[in-house]
Structure 1
Amino acid sequence: MAPTRWQNENTEAQSREYVERFARLESRGVDLHGEARMVDALLAPGSTVLDAGCGTARLGAELARRGHRVTAVDLDPVFVEAARAHTQITVHQADLTGLDLGERFDAVIAAGNVMVFMEPGTERTALERIAAHVKPGGVFVAGFATDRAYTVEQFDDHLDAVGLGVEHRFSTWDLRPWRQGADWAVTVARAPELLA
């Protein structure tokens, strides 16, 4: 597996500090579940969810706590170790550009800058593999900062190329309206329904 941009730009120690930082925030009672609230509102009870590029799997674990059946994947072994502490979810170490779990999900989520931490030039390939894991009529939700080399426009072109249609875009996970120049883009895209 080739390293991601995250792995090229961060050491194992930095990955461990990331895990510890979120543990400290949680212990102080900081609200870390804005993404989960937003995603949960999109889903029917008991939906199947793939947390793609899960990091510590705090999103996936919260969605599982809310009654969804969650599978999580990440390439970083430090994050996979941390994610596996959440025993209510299934965790795989996998590269999104070669992902093949052999199943489809009601929703695939790529929160926390997953798309901008891909190795440059691999984003469309990752989106092809993500689209292959979304059930017909299912959703793909992604959030990333807009100050990176990978742009919202490139993302939209790649979504269109892999057959995922943009339904909504927000500037934050708490659904503030999208505007050009926003610091963050949260996109809801949907796979086409099967024709009867």
Structure 2
Amino acid sequence: MTSIAYYDQHCDAFVANTASVDMTELYTAFLSRLKPGAHILDAGCGSGRDTCHFLKQGYHVTAIDGSVAMVRHASAFTGINVRQLTFENLDYQAAFEGIWACASLLHIPLSELPDVMARMSEALKNNGIWYLSFKYGAGEVSRDGRSFTNLTEESLGELVDALSGISLLSTWQTSDKRSDREDERWLNALCKYSKTPVQTTWQPA
């Protein structure tokens, strides 16, 4: 079973388990760097929870997901037309001031991440901000019918360093907000795209 097939088959259970997760800290870190009304790509929108928040805050949102079941649910939940699209086929060019990739890129195999991340970076406008998160750790694992690529600050930094125009602004760890997952750690990161990037040496937060 692929990860997309998992979400197609377990859409209702996944929505119920994630709909009420408190994302305030992450929203603030991301949105504080965007101008009012900015155009955001919710990449791997799942239930549409985050898209709804961004819309309510006055942002313009394009939402995509690879799962047909999730697309149907998110479209109904958010009231916008969510696009069914896998990251491997991402086709936007300089379209967004912000990209929100929350717990979504982690399902891409490590060998395919460089290409997918390059496609995503190309979707950013100049000075665009990109939030992304992975489960914290090393290597690829499979669990409950889904595959996960875990990253550390160092391995994420190596991936970002290979991207043209992308600078890693900050990384930080958080615990899972779900009550039954508090022992799980997440790696969060904010990146910025610039046509003329300033060469800096990043340090994990």
State the TM-score bracket (shorter-chain normalisation). 0.7 to 0.9
Show CA shifts across 1:86-134 (max 9, x none).
Answer: 445441110111101355100111102x122113421111101101100
Show CA shifts across 1:12-59 (max 9, x none).
Answer: 332331023334xx3xxx634443233222211101100111111211
Partners in 1 of 2:83 and 2:3 — Cα distance? 18
The match for 1:165 is 167
**Unaligned 5+ residue runs, structure 2?**
140-149, 176-183, 198-205
For the 8 Å contact 1:166–1:188, the answer to whether it is kept is yes
What secondary structure sits across from 1:84 in the alignment?
Answer: helix
- Which structure 2 residues correspond to residues 6-85 of structure 1 after superposition, within 5 A? 6-7=3-4, 10=6, 12-23=8-19, 26=20, 31-85=22-76
Moved over 6 A (4+): none
What secondary structure sits across from 2:174 in the alignment?
Answer: coil
For the 8 Å contact 1:144–1:184, the answer to whether it is kept is yes
What secondary structure sits across from 1:172 in the alignment?
Answer: strand
Partners in 1 of 2:29 and 2:67 — Cα distance? 26
Partners in 1 of 2:35 and 2:7 — Cα distance? 39
Structure 2 residue 96 is the aligned partner of structure 1 residue 126: no
Q: 2:135 aligns with which of 118, 140, 145?
A: 145
Partners in 2 of 1:185 and 1:13 — Cα distance? 27
Cα root mean square deviation, aligned: 2.5
Which of the pair is proportionally richer in strand?
2
Residues 147 and 154 of structure 1: CA distance in aligned 2, closer, same or farther (over 3 Å): closer
Residues 97 and 46 of structure 1: CA distance in aligned 2, closer, same or farther (over 3 Å): same
- Between the two proteins, the alignment pairs up a number of residues equal to 177
Q: TM-score, normalised by structure 1?
A: 0.79
